[in-house]
Every structure is written in structure tokens, then in C-alpha cells.
Amino acid sequence: MHPYVKQVLETIEKRNRHEPEFLQAAHEVLESLSPVFDVHPEYIENNILDRLCEPERQLIFRVTWQDDSGKVFVNRGYRVNFNSTLGPYKGGLRFHPTVNLGIMKFLAFEQIFKNSLTGLSIGGGKGGSDFDPKGRSDNEIMRFCQSFMTELWRHIGSSTDVPAGDIGVGGREIGYLFGYYKRLTNRFDLGVLTGKGVDFGGSMGRKEATGFGCVYFAKDMLERKKETIQGKTAVVSGSGNVALYTIKKLQELGAKVVACSDSGGYIYDKNGLDFDYLRQLKEVERKRLAVYQSKYPNSIFKPNAKVWEIPCTLAFPCATQNEIQLPDAELLIKNGCILVCEGANMPTTQDAFRLFESKGVLFGPGKAANAGGVAVSALEMQQNAALTSWTFEEVDRKLQAIMMKIHNTCVECATQYDNPNSYVTGANIAGFKRVAHAMMAYGVI
């Protein structure tokens, strides 16, 4: 490890000792950057790394709301504006009981490099709340979103900070948030949020973008090795937006997807999952995966278990952070997995992804593989700024081109730094260098 990297990591650990997820993300990125500082001593002279690892702004606020019975609740809201070197802060809002400042910082930190890799003019940020939307009525979620926006509105804008959705925040929540922003500000500022409904400024293809983009990245990885998705067996963790559209695109490209999961366990269907029924359960009826058996009694629902125990060729972690740990990685390799492509943010621990790379398993890190969502969010911003809209096919073509560019950039950068088979190295260095060059150009600010 380069002495400068070691010094910065020691500083980060002292400042953020109670934030394990952020420290994990920082180690994963910084350790792979060591070769850069031998070539670019000017980054050390200007202390670029230390500056990059400290957020520009961190917001914490109270969110007070009432449930349908009139009971008052208090949650905590967050928005971490990590780095605006390349453009306005861009990153989703997450509503989940596990949300805390450390998780927001890790997500925002990852977003810097992910957004940089897209080649678009967007910086890195993230936000959310420890509010749990599960089991809440539409009216309760509306009241929470309105209370959340009562504070957030003063910190966001199309040229400042542009939130989107994430876990627990889909089209319904974005609609409530945008509606209340409009009421508070008396402005119809289309570019202030992305993930909007297509009837009021949203982009075709945004819902599908993260899942589709992840599969496009996997397709490019396989093609580099003279392989295809056609005929492969896949498992996908999660059953939210990213997981569902990962499943859809995999099936369109000829893979058989046999399992997916939710917080209660996983569903396994040896004949391949029925995407349309899954989408009905999750997007329309908002039911648990165990219900899948009511239509497909020969399928198996296994509670409190991980999909990684099912033999597969392709694995797509699309749920949450650290869901693939070392024992899971060992089991995937034993069962013949040749590719792991991250649809979620940091779903694989460092020990696990190092094992994948050492065993020759293709590994697509989230900051590259799941960049499709934020890429199409930036395309939505472009459409809003031009007061126009594109067809689904136009957006999908642009998404495929962006994902191929990200893939090729990762390969080129990894090769340049003598680690041609590491997409982690390529993604981290390529994402970092673009931000670092801009920071150098701005001077010390």
C-alpha cells in the first residue's frame, strides 16, 4: 500500500470510527488506488485523496409525521452532499430502518465514482431516512414524504442537488416528494428530482435502467471472454425494482433465472421464474415472495435463507450491502458460478470479491455494473432541461452505449495499471482520476 494511501486511511479511521460501512467502502477504493500515486505525485502535493474522502456537507434533520390513527412518530432524515466536482450532487433517497449516517456516507462516497464513470456531469450524494415504509398505507407514506420534503426542499435544486429513488423510494414516493416540493416552492422545477412518472417529466426506461444496465455490463464482461448469457442459469437476490428488471433482461437474453429473494427468504423454481407474476406480486400487490407458491405449487420457498446456496452460472446480488460474504463466495465457486455482477451497492465483502478475482470469477463491482440507474437519471435531467422526452428505445440505446463505455473504460484503466482482469481496479482508478483532474483544475476549495 502506498504510504500516502495508508496515511489517509488512518485519518479516515480516526474521524469515522463508528461508521463501519463507510470505512469498508473507503478501504476498498483507496487500497486499489495505490499505483496512481506513483504516476501522479501532484495528487499527493495537493492532498486530493484526503479532500475527496471528507464530505462537502452532511445534513441531519428531524422528520415528524402522523399515522392513520393520529399517533405521532419521529424519524431522522439525512442528505450527504459528498462531492460536487463534476456536477450537482446526484444520488438516491433510501427509506429503510437500517439507515444511519455511516450508511449514507458509504453510499454517497460510492456514488462519486459511479457517477464519474458514466462520463456525465453529475457529482456524488445520497440521502434518506430510518423510516420503514413496509406495511404503511399510501396516506401514511404521503404524510411522511411531505414532512421529509419540508426540510429537504431548501437544500436541493436542478443545479445543486438532484435526489432520486433507492430502497423504499419508488415512483409513488417520488410523486409525493415532487408534489410537495412544488407546493412549498411555487415552482414546477422538473429537474429537481429524477425517477418521476412519465406524465410529469419522468424518463421512459428509468424504472428498468439499473437492472437492464447491470445485465448489459455482465453481457460485455462475458463477451470479452467469448461467452454469452444465452443458456446460462442465474440467481438474483432481492425482488425490488433492480432485481425485477435484472430478471427481465436476463430472460430476454436467454438465461434461465431460477431464484430471487426478499427479506423473508428466497423462492426457487427449477423451470425458471415467471417475471410477470413476480412483478404483479411486488409492484402491484406489494406482497411477500412466499405467495408465489400459490400459483406455482412446485416452486420452493425457503425462509431466512440466501439464494447463493443454489447452483448457478451467473449471480446477481441486487438487494443490499454485504449480502455475499466469504462463505457465500466459496459456495458459489464450488457450485460453478463464473460471474458475479453487482446490481446493489457494495453487496460483496472485500474477502469475498478478492476470492472471486483470485479464482478467475468475473466480478462486476456495483460502481460500474449498477451505474445504469444514475445514467438514465442524468438522461432524465437532460430531457427536463430541454423540455423534451425520448422514446423507450432511444433511452435504452443510450443506456447500452453508456454501459459499454463504462465496461471498456474499466478494462483500459485496469490494463494500464497492470491488473487487466480486475474490474474493481479499473472502476476505482478511472472514476477517481476524472474527479481528481477536475479538483486540480479548481484549485484548493
The candidate with the shortest Cα–Cα distance to 340, out of 377, 313, 379, 310, is 313
**Residue 394 phi/psi, 5° resolution?**
-65, -45
DSSP assignment of 302-366: EET--GGGS--SEEEE-S-TT-B-HHHHHHHHHTT--EEE-SSSS-B-HHHHHHHHHTT-EEE-H
Residue 245 · residue 268 · CB < 8 Å: no
Residue 314 · residue 229 · CB < 8 Å: yes
Catalytic residue among 90, 105, 114, 126: 126
Sequence-ordered alpha helix ranges (H) in 164-234: 171-185, 206-224
**Helices and strands (H, E) in the chain, number of each type:** 17, 12
12 forms beta bridges with none
Spacing of C-alpha 308 from chain mean position: 20
182 is catalytic: no
The candidate with the shortest Cα–Cα distance to 165, out of 377, 347, 316, 400, is 377
Active site residues: 126
